[in-house]
Amino acid sequence: MKQQQPHPKSAEIEKQQNTRKQVSYNRRARHEYEILNTYEAGMVLVGTEVKSLRAGKVNIQDAFCKIENNECWLYNMHITPYELGNRFNVEPTRKRKLLLHHWQIQELRNKMEQKGLAVVPISLYFLRGFAKMEIGIGRGKKLYDKRESIAERDQLRDAQREHARRE
């Protein structure tokens, strides 16, 4: 019997499916919080919400996470209703369930009980066709911490410019 060789394009197609397609990124989260740990969570969505996500019509700037009844919920994420969704559209800012393991939820709960820690969404993306959210445990930055991080970023940018000029 002849053993069949895999099609050369199948590896390329598989690689494309495993790529992470970024939908939204919360820049404010990294600016206002010092992110200590991150988790990847699935999301429970309705069909028309997925279509709006694929079109990039989402805002996660004001979103936050809470743990209720051993479940993680995402509040204030705005997904614009799908234009062709008519009666199947849902409320744009409804609370959405995040899918995490029990041990991850326990870890989040323990960290949230500590003073000054919050769970904030960092980014939203598609991975292998599923909508995923990267959430992080963050400690709120003080104003002087924000100024320090801006100054560090400016110094790095200036150093890169200087390095580019020399080459």
Provide the greatest CA pair distance for the chain: 71
70 found inside a domain: yes
48 found inside a domain: yes
76 found inside a domain: yes
Q: Which domain holds residue 51?
A: 19-141
52 found inside a domain: yes
- The CATH number for 44's domain is 2.40.280.10
Over 70: is that where the pLDDT of 16 sits?
A: no
pLDDT tens per residue across span 92-116: 889 999 999 999 999 999 888 877 7
Share of the chain above pLDDT 90, in %: 29
Residue carrying the six token digits 């995402």: 74
Whether the Cβ atoms of residue 74 and residue 65 lie closer than 8 Å to each other: yes
160 found inside a domain: no
167 found inside a domain: no
Band (90; pLDDT cuts 50, 70, 90): confident
- Count how many domains the chain has: 1
Cα dihedral 143→146→148→154 (10° resolution)? -140
pLDDT tens per residue across span 133-151: 999 998 887 777 778 888 8
Identify the pLDDT of residue 150: 84
Identify the pLDDT of residue 137: 92
Identify the pLDDT of residue 89: 80
* pTM, two decimal places: 0.74
Identify the pLDDT of residue 149: 82
Q: For all residues of the chain together, what is the average pLDDT?
A: 85
Report the pLDDT averaged over residues 114-129.
88
163 found inside a domain: no
Q: How far apart are CA 59 and CA 76, in angstroms?
A: 9
